[in-house]
Amino acid sequence: MLSAEVSLYPQKTIRASEIINESLQSLTQQNIEYTVGPISTEIHGSEEEVWAGIRSLFEKASTNGEVSMVVTLSNSAR
């Protein structure tokens, strides 16, 4: 089991919230377990699921321009 706390920061845009919400839809489409918080999103699952989720978020956000992402990973039980 792996978990990640992910913060996504779209750059040079006034549509940051919209881009983040669109990116989160990529997790829903992959049936990845996640929880949205006020400043970050927690992703839980197998290593493959979590890494795929991180990649999915970043790739979706990147289609709208420059983006920064901060990720904290943990292999401890929740």
Predicted confidence (pLDDT) per residue in 13-69, tens digit: 999 999 999 999 999 888 889 999 999 999 999 999 999 999 999 999 999 999 999
Q: Which of 63, 71, 78, 69 is nearest to 18 (CA)?
A: 63
Nearest-Å Rg of the Cα atoms of the chain is: 12
Give 31-40 pLDDT, tens digit per residue. Answer: 889 999 999 9
Confidence of residue 78 (pLDDT cuts 50, 70, 90): low
CA-wise closest residue to 35 among 5, 67, 71, 2: 5
Please tell me the distance from the alpha carbon of residue 1 to that of residue 48, in angstroms, as a whole number.
10
> What's the predicted TM-score (pTM) here?
0.88
Q: Give the domains, in start order, of the chain with CATH numbers.
A: 2-74 (3.30.70.930)
pLDDT over 90 (residue 77): no
Give the residue-averaged pLDDT of 6-12. Answer: 96
Tokens of 63: 């289609």
